[in-house]
Amino acid sequence: MHGILLMAVLIIVGGIIAFIGDRLGSKVGKKKLTLFGLRPRHTSIIVTIVTGFAITTITFGILAITSKDVRTALFGMEKLQQQISLSQTNLNKANKNLQLAQSQQTKMEASLKKTRIELDDAKDKTRQMKAQQEILLTANTNLEQQNVYLDENNNKLKIYNENLKGENSNLQQNNDNLQQQNDDLAQRNGDLSSKRIIYQAGELIFGGVVPATTDRNAVRSNFAKLITIANAKVAAKSGETTVKEGLWLYPSEYESAIDKICSSDKDMVVRLIAAANLVKDEPVRTNIELYPNKIVYQNRELVATGDFEVDGTQATAQKTLFKFLHDINKIASANGMLPDPLRGSIGVISMDQLYSVTDELTKYKGKILLTAYSQGNTNILGPLRLILKVRQDNNE
């Protein structure tokens, strides 16, 4: 808008100056005025030239007054060119610095990228190391617990080792005793052919019941009573009123039996078994067997029944009875009664009862039913006393 207004002003001013110059030239020509003694025509030319100078001068004056750029173009062009040259130089220098800075920035970005990658790797390694540290801490805790456990086990093993040393010493002493006994037995075996064997190895000498109690003295007292009775039986079987050598029990076995009886809440059946063939006037080496006692059969409780076929002969009757007694033996043993160590028998039947039942069987022919009942309450030690009944099998 300012440029348009300036052009309008210049056009108007130029027109006015041209009009004035034309009027002056016309007036000079009409009046034939002269300037500096020149001819009128030349004077008119000079007026026209001066008018053109005036237009140009006024134009530049107005432009210079109204426009800083024109003033700069007219009066400060060289300085402006110097400034432009200096600015160009500075610009070129700035461009070089910019390129250098961009190159350095590229390098720094690459270095920063590399640093970030290394930082990420370091973070990953740090996480891995933390995870490994947690694993190591857990493992260390486990190792410490195992170490405590091993220390405890080591202490227990030390105590156990000391106990084993004591037991080993006892076993060595027992071994020496057994060796001495073996030597005695070897010497004795040479004379067995000339001496009577009272008890065979494994034969039951005596059995009894020791009441349940935690009092060791009471258990020892009851045990002593059983041994006294057993010694009396040995003496009677030897044909003596008293025995020169009584029952000999292994000390460790005897103490173990005392411990088991004291720790049991049930009465215990004690069976004294000959450890070797017993010859008269020699020590009765004995083993101990323990069993929790219980009542196997109540009085008149059914023990067994059996179907048989007889023909009225004595031989068949005996065979049938022995077969039934054998079956009773198996049934009572399965129910918990202790059989004789040598013979395996459990029940007791008198000769009178045996003959009576055999005679009864000879009265029948065909199928019969044999029934056995317990005579009195019977515990596992026995013996099992029987009531035997015979009747014809009605299902025949």
Give the pLDDT of residue 90: 86
Kind plus residue range of the DSSP H or E element containing 90: helix 77-189
Q: How far apart are CA 205 and CA 229, in angstroms?
A: 10
Give the pLDDT of residue 11: 74
> H helices of 67-76, where?
68-75
Give the pLDDT of residue 183: 65
Asked whether residue 254 is domain-assigned, the answer is yes
Task: Give one word for 366, left, alpha or beta, with left for phi > 0 and alpha for psi -120 to 50.
Answer: left
Q: Tokens in use for 391?
A: 């009747």
Over the chain (396 residues), the average pLDDT of each successive run of 10 is: 64 73 67 64 72 75 70 66 82 86 84 86 87 87 85 83 78 76 60 61 80 86 84 75 68 86 85 77 78 87 87 87 86 82 73 83 86 86 83 70
Are 306 and 384 part of one and the same domain?
Answer: yes
Domain count for the chain, please give it: 3
pLDDT digits (tens, 9 = 90+) for 100-126: 888 888 888 888 888 889 888 888 888
Are 278 and 356 part of one and the same domain?
Answer: no
The CATH number given to whatever domain includes residue 388 is: 3.30.470
DSSP line for 183-202: HHHHHHHTTGGGS-EEE-TT
**Edge-to-edge strands, sheet with 204-210:** 204-210, 268-274, 284-292, 247-249
Are 32 and 71 part of one and the same domain?
Answer: yes
Asked whether residue 197 is domain-assigned, the answer is no
Asked whether residue 321 is domain-assigned, the answer is yes
Nearest of 239, 229, 158 to residue 196 by alpha carbon? 239
Are 245 and 278 part of one and the same domain?
Answer: yes
Give the pLDDT of residue 284: 74
pLDDT digits (tens, 9 = 90+) for 338-350: 887 777 777 677 7
Asked whether residue 83 is domain-assigned, the answer is no
| Residue 337 DSSP symbol | P
Are the C-beta atoms of 184 and 252 separated by less than 8 Å? Answer: no
Q: How far apart are CA 46 and CA 40, in angstroms?
A: 10
Are 227 and 286 part of one and the same domain?
Answer: yes
Q: How far apart are CA 245 and CA 237, in angstroms?
A: 14
Q: How far apart are CA 308 and CA 368, in angstroms?
A: 5
Are 366 and 316 part of one and the same domain?
Answer: yes
Are 367 and 348 part of one and the same domain?
Answer: yes
Q: How far apart are CA 299 and CA 221, in angstroms?
A: 30
Instruction: Give the domain-ending residue among 75, 99, 134.
Output: 75
Instruction: Give the domain-ending residue among 40, 75, 110.
Output: 75
What is the number of other CB atoms lying within 10 angstroms of the CB of residue 321? 21
Q: How far apart are CA 157 and CA 153, in angstroms?
A: 6
Instruction: Give the domain-ending residue among 293, 317, 348.
Output: 293
Q: How far apart are CA 372 and CA 390, in angstroms?
A: 9
Are 317 and 239 part of one and the same domain?
Answer: no
Asked whether residue 223 is domain-assigned, the answer is yes
- The CA-atom distances, in angstroms, between 67 and each of 60, 62, 165, 195, 257 are 10, 8, 126, 164, 137
Q: Which amino acid is at 152?
A: E
Strand partners for 295: 379
Which phi and psi (to 5°) does residue 390 adopt?
Answer: -125, 140
Place of tokens 């219980």: 294
Are 44 and 68 part of one and the same domain?
Answer: yes
Are the C-beta atoms of 206 and 233 separated by less than 8 Å? Answer: yes
Are 336 and 367 part of one and the same domain?
Answer: yes
Task: Give one word for 313, left, alpha or beta, with left for phi > 0 and alpha for psi -120 to 50.
Answer: beta
Q: Classify residue 395 as exposed, middle or buried by CB count within 10 Å of its CB (0-12, 13-18, 19+).
A: exposed
Asked whether residue 186 is domain-assigned, the answer is no
Asked whether residue 110 is domain-assigned, the answer is no
Asked whether residue 141 is domain-assigned, the answer is no
Which residue range is the domain that position 311 belongs to? 296-392
Are 286 and 211 part of one and the same domain?
Answer: yes
Are 250 and 302 part of one and the same domain?
Answer: no
